[in-house]
Amino acid sequence: MSSKASRILIVEDEANMRRILSAMLSRDGYKVETAGNGRQALELLGKGSFQLVVSDLRMPQMDGLELLSELRRRGMACELILITAHGTIETAVEAMKNGAFDFITKPFDAAELKIKVGNALRTYEKRQLDAKLTPEGADRYNFIGSSPAIRELCRILDKVADSPTTVLVTGESGTGKELVAQAIHRHSARADKPFIRINVAAIPETLLESELFGHEKGAFTGAVALKPGRFELADSGTLFLDEIGETPKELQVKLLRCLQEREFERVGGLKSIKFDVRLIAATNKDLEAEVAAGRFRQDLFYRLNVVPIHLPPLRERSEDIEELVPYFIERFNKRLGRSVEGITPGAMAKLRAYRWPGNIRELENVVERSILLADGHILDVENLPTFSRHGVSPASLGESSPLGAEGRTPSSLKQVVKEHTRRVERHVIQQALGETGGNVTRAAEALGISRKSLQMKMKEYGLRNQRSELKQNRGDLHS
């Protein structure tokens, strides 16, 4: 591995400390640059690729934690090690939760620093490798499958990826819309510029405008400092507006104006800001129907629908399942440390016949769970979850694997499997409760366990509040 040539950015406001750190790591053969504060660091990070940031926690202007969240917000992949003075361990733990690789307390030990730097760089490389392994067997866009739909998709991508055109990706949940957006960005001239995503549905309406366009200092209570919005962050890169169909009407007007004029104002600001952003929008809604129903502005729809890409549901290209399953088996073997070699024709037939309302994401989860629970080397029908008639599988996990994005070495395989099993169990219970509107007796029946043990599990997994929430939601629906 080439860790020695790795680039490290040191962020530290004390000049002396900066020099010491820099000298120590340079001596080890790393390419080191330094910044005196978070802002400066972001500037440098924007210019060149670093594998690791070693940052002090307490700094004027932007502290280490803020720097970390900015890094993540901008989708930068580098690892971060935080250096803290005594008494701020809680903060360091907080940082770890937010994705810092590790922390070191001052005064630190040179050996400890070297070890942690080495670990962080190895993790970084492993992660990059994982990302490179993913397209194995796939074409250059990372899409598994050779159905006419996928081939057509690649043909369109070849044409549009490297143009500044706006793309609207539609398709049911889990069909790969985000994957398409990323592929477009990666194959455009903007590939080394930021890819910024905003999920319109996941942000409360009141915050959405300032998330998109940023706000000036003092624009509203709590706006203690100027904040750039996603349009600014994505400048010269790609902005992915996910779940665009959920945009509130008022904001649709502002968005349209911004796209027409190619400029916007921050919330509470007067100055118009120009931007150069390639736009990709996605939705699982039928936007034309939304327009017809008066929920989505027609003019905005036309602005976005320049190149439409529709991803058909998996059930309409079930031949792709034949390629997706081996691909996922290999991936989860690696992640879970298993050695499942394949799947029986009977089990494959069952997968092909299923409706897949959650599409590829659901298939991915079913394969993951089956591998986890299988004891043999070949997946057979009995390793698959029981698919209900409504096409709802109890196995849709909804979340990524515990070994997923963090890429951190698990404590032990046993621990991982235990954690995973717990997650599966929690999810299945959650789903049963959802389907029965929080009715414990009926959920227990559906799960084939006693009411009492379900109650104990619910307590264990903290699902009791959820139950009243579900009931309440039901009440809302029926009122």
Query: According to the binding rule CB under 6 A, does residue 144 interact with ligand ATP?
Result: yes
Residue number of the CB atom closest to Mg ion: 178
CB closer to ligand ATP out of 5 and 129: 129
364 binds ligand ATP (CB under 6 A): yes
* Three-class SS of 191-242: CCCCEEEEEHHHCCHHHHHHHHHEECCCCCCCCCCCEECHHHHCCCCEEEEE
Kindly tell me which of 171 and 229 has the beta carbon lying closer to ligand ATP.
171
Q: Which two tokens stand for residue 19?
A: 């020099």
Query: According to the binding rule CB under 6 A, does residue 396 interact with ligand ATP?
Result: no
Interface positions, 263-302, toward ligand ATP (CB under 6 A):
284
User: Counting contacts by CB under 6 A, is residue 360 touching ligand ATP?
Assistant: yes
Task: Kindly state the smallest distance separating residue 151's Cβ from Mg ion, in Å.
Answer: 22
To ligand ATP, the closest distance from the beta carbon of 177 in angstroms equals 3
Which segment (11-19, 137-145, 268-276, 345-353) binds ligand ATP by CB under 6 A?
Answer: 137-145
Nearer to ligand ATP, 119 or 173 (CB): 173
Q: Does 171 bind ligand ATP (CB under 6 A)?
A: yes
Among 116, 177, 185, 335, binds ligand ATP (CB under 6 A): 177
Distance CA 24, CA 22 (A): 5
List 40, 91, 146, 173, residue binding ligand ATP (CB under 6 A): 173
**Span of 68-76, 169-177, 247-255, 346-354 interacting with ligand ATP by CB under 6 A:** 169-177
Check binding of 175 to ligand ATP (CB under 6 A): yes
Shortest distance, position 122 Cβ to ligand ATP, whole Å: 25
| Partner whose binding site includes residue 215, from ligand ATP, Mg ion, none (CB under 5 to 8 Å by kind) | none
Which positions touch Mg ion (CB under 5 A)? 178
The reply on whether position 143 binds ligand ATP by CB under 6 A is yes
**Residue 177 or 193 having the CB closest to ligand ATP:** 177
Give the one entry of Mg ion, ligand ATP, none that residue 173 binds, where binding means its C-beta sits below a cut-off of 5 to 8 angstroms depending on kind.
ligand ATP
Residue number with CB closer to Mg ion (240 or 387): 240
Which residue in 36, 38, 64, 145 binds ligand ATP (CB under 6 A)? 145
> Residue 89 Cβ, how far from ligand ATP at the closest point, in Å?
35
Look at residue 368 and give the partner it binds from Mg ion, ligand ATP, none, a contact being a CB closer than 5 to 8 Å depending on partner kind: none
Choose the stretch contacting ligand ATP; rule: CB under 6 A; options: 25-33, 71-79, 204-212, 357-365. Answer: 357-365
Q: Does 6 bind ligand ATP (CB under 6 A)?
A: no
Residue with nearest beta carbon to ligand ATP = 176
Q: Is 179 in the site for ligand ATP (CB under 6 A)?
A: yes
3-class SS string, the chain: CCHHHCEEEEECCCHHHHHHHHHHHHHCCCEEEEECCHHHHHHHHHHCCCCEEEEECCCCCCCHHHHHHHHHHCCCCCEEEEEECCCCHHHHHHHHHCCCCEEEECCCCHHHHHHHHHHHHHHHHHHHHHHHHCCCCCCCCCCCCCCHHHHHHHHHHHHHCCCCCCEEEEECCCCCHHHHHHHHHHCCCCCCCCEEEEEHHHCCHHHHHHHHHEECCCCCCCCCCCEECHHHHCCCCEEEEECHHHCCHHHHHHHHHHHHHCEEECECCCCEEECCCEEEEEECCCHHHHHHCCCCCHHHHHHHCCEEEEECCHHHHHHHHHHHHHHHHHHHHHHHCCCCCEECHHHHHHHHHCCCCCHHHHHHHHHHHHHHHCCCCEECHHHCCCCCCCCCCCCCCCCCCCCCCCCCCCCCHHHHHHHHHHHHHHHHHHHHHHHCCCCHHHHHHHHCCCHHHHHHHHHHCCCHHHHHHHHHHHHHHHC
Q: How many residues bind ligand ATP (CB under 6 A)?
A: 15
Q: Which residues bind ligand ATP (CB under 6 A)?
A: 143-145, 171, 173-179, 284, 360-361, 364
